[in-house]
Amino acid sequence: MYKIETSWKIEFKEEGVLLEERRTPRGLTSIKHAKKTPSARLGGNLALNNYRMKKHILFTVAIAMAINCIAQKSSLNKYHQWATTPPLGWNSWDCFGTTVTEQQVKEQADAMAKHLLPSGYKYLTVDIQWYEPEAKGHSYDPKAILTMDEYGRLTPGLKKFPSAANGKGFKPLADYVHSKGLKFGIHIMRGIPRQAVDKNTPVLGTKLRAQDIALTNSRCPWNPDMYGVDASKPEGQAYYNSIVQMYADWGVDFIKCDDISRAYDDIQKAEIEALRKAIDRTGRPIILSLSPGATPIKEGGHVMNNANMWRITDDFWDRWGLLSAMFERLDAWTPFRGPGHFPDADMLPIGVVEFKRPTNFTINEQYTLMSLWAIGRSPLIFGGDITKLDDFTKQMLTNPEMLKVNQQSTNNRQVSRDKNLVVWAADAPDSKDKYVALFNAQSKGENLDFNNADYASPVIAAKVSAQKVEVSVKGGKRLILFVKDGGNGFDWDHVVWGEPVLHGPKGDLKLTELKWLSATAGWGEAHVNRTVDDQPIVVSDKSIEGIGTHAESVIIYQLPEGYETFTSTCYVTQDKGSVVFGVWVDKAEADLPETATVNVILESIGIKGKVKVQDLWSHQDLGTFDGNFSRELPQHGAGLYRITPLK
């Protein structure tokens, strides 16, 4: 096996401040400030930057040499040859959570074979809790009884997968999926079931038992099922050999292993290597996908030498804030993208998701999503219900030119990013043509300079305190409520603007009765009279009215005439949260325009002279351009193009 050992340094800087990866609710990882510097502005309160990311990446000579070596010799790794292009497929999580059944999988397989397989989508994956017969929704039950065999290996719950009876496991279902021309995948959690450790089941092929190899202090923080395995012991490797061989015997073609690529500690690293060895030992070409994210960039050399794909974010849902963050992530992982090893931006939550609801992404945002995943060469794993596939979603997923960008392009990179107007480019194979993606990733309110805010609170931490706010709104055109991270190392920043009211000669007006112009939340969605996770707002055992959101958050209201003061009591609703609340009364009503011109200078992508341009989404020829190419794009919108030099 060929391995690349790298020596490198990557720093993210914003105005000289080192940034770090940090966990957010549902395990979401984001790029945040590691340290913030107080300022004399805002009356001595915590200074608030505009948090626009300005990335600075420093590579040593060693990483440059390693990348070149990878490009030339990664083909020597046999398992990289199993996925020389980003995998295309479907996963049950976004649509069915923990509840997917055998019948539903068969229905999805039938629809997938009809609608998506002709375009190359072939990996169908049964996600988490297939071994828990009573699993519900997108949550986990710490008291659940799991289905497993006498060797502590999890097996399909018969209530959901009846064909698994009599020790057949997933073999009958895998056979059905294979009969449709598809590949069959499963989700697993790293380690050994706690239930197996409690029963001290034997480890197949050894004289040891579960308690001898379990690391009971190595636990998933969000799923209660497993303990880590000491893969440094031969018996720990034997346990992984036993489960992976069982999967291979079932006919599994794709393994998505969870709770293994974050935080990427030494225990997890050893388990990744154990999985690699176990898969190779079977002789079956099983694709290995690692979750959740964000995988630490410093482990790029290790992860690309052991897995075919790995998550660079935690669960990606249909929220603009999560999508806009992906520009930074895909750019940062560029050095480790190549045949057989792909940074994974996660599933595509479009179409019908979460059992029956339509995606929250707008049409423009879906073009941004698909254009970025395509030119960033992320695996394309659809998360929606294929049996309810609408024409627009199908056209997005199966657009042949988009798929060529994703599957065939090379030298994929971000060319420029200025005020969230973003340009990516890639080379078309066997041609002097270039692929270009243009993005208007601007949003309402992001041009606001919060250093000019009328009010900013001190850091409000956990549930220990509340902050009363009273701000004059005289002469204001818009009222802007914002919440910034408090920098305490946690990101469970669930907050509430409690009982927000405008006061004036016209009386009192509850903000909960006024429709906002726009609202963003760093996780989930802002809600009126509900928390960000859609629960009733309760303070000191009393229900109150208010606005629930999550840092980073900006909520903008048009101020009606006749009001002079705004009041609210602000709360952090989680034990780990730490935030700064702020209020800005905008008297100029300045905002970013609804559209912006996104431009690429052709020399910056290696082209001189005139070119012709084709729009890959509309399949239209856009004409001839000389020196540069630009398009007017709406906020959150994108375009994907092929640029052909003219002689």
pLDDT digits (tens, 9 = 90+) for 111-142: 999 999 999 999 999 999 999 999 988 889 99
For residue range 396-448, list pLDDT tens digits in order: 999 999 999 999 999 999 999 999 999 999 999 999 999 999 999 998 776 66
pLDDT at 564 over 90: yes
For residue range 480-529, list pLDDT tens digits in order: 999 988 876 446 789 999 999 999 998 999 999 999 998 988 888 899 99
In one-letter notation, the amino acid at residue 539 is: V
In terms of Cβ atoms closer than 10 Å to its own Cβ (0-12, 13-18, 19+), residue 40 is exposed
- Give CA separation, 62 vs 66, 95, 310, in Å: 6, 43, 23
Q: Pick the residue with more confidence: 411 or 43? A: 411
**In 346-399, where does DSSP find H-type helix?**
363-375, 391-398
pLDDT at 71 over 90: no
Q: Report the pLDDT averaged over residues 17-21.
A: 32
Q: How many helices (DSSP H) and strands (DSSP E) are in the chain?
A: 13, 38
Neighbours of 309 (CB within 10 A): 26
- Residue 513, C-beta contacts closer than 8 angstroms, at least 6 positions apart: none
Classify 3 as helix, strand or coil: coil
pLDDT at 235 over 60: yes
Lowest mean pLDDT among 68-72, 189-193, 309-313: 68-72
pLDDT at 383 over 60: yes
Give this prediction's pTM: 0.81
Q: Are 384 and 350 in contact (CB under 8 A)?
A: yes
Q: Residue 243: in which H helix or E strand, if any?
A: helix 234-250
Q: Which of the four CATH numbers 3.20.20.80, 3.40.50.740, 3.20.20.70, 3.30.1330.30 does domain 77-408 have?
A: 3.20.20.70
The pair of structure tokens assigned to 229 is 């395995």
For residue range 447-477, list pLDDT tens digits in order: 667 777 899 998 887 765 688 999 999 999 9
Residue 64: pLDDT band with limits 50, 70, 90: very low
The per-residue pLDDT for 555 is: 93
- Give CA separation, 280 vs 232, 258, 261, in Å: 18, 19, 20
The per-residue pLDDT for 439 is: 98
Residue 645: pLDDT band with limits 50, 70, 90: very high
pLDDT at 6 over 80: no
Q: Pick the residue with more confidence: 491 or 312? A: 312
Q: Are 436 and 390 in contact (CB under 8 A)?
A: no
The per-residue pLDDT for 589 is: 62
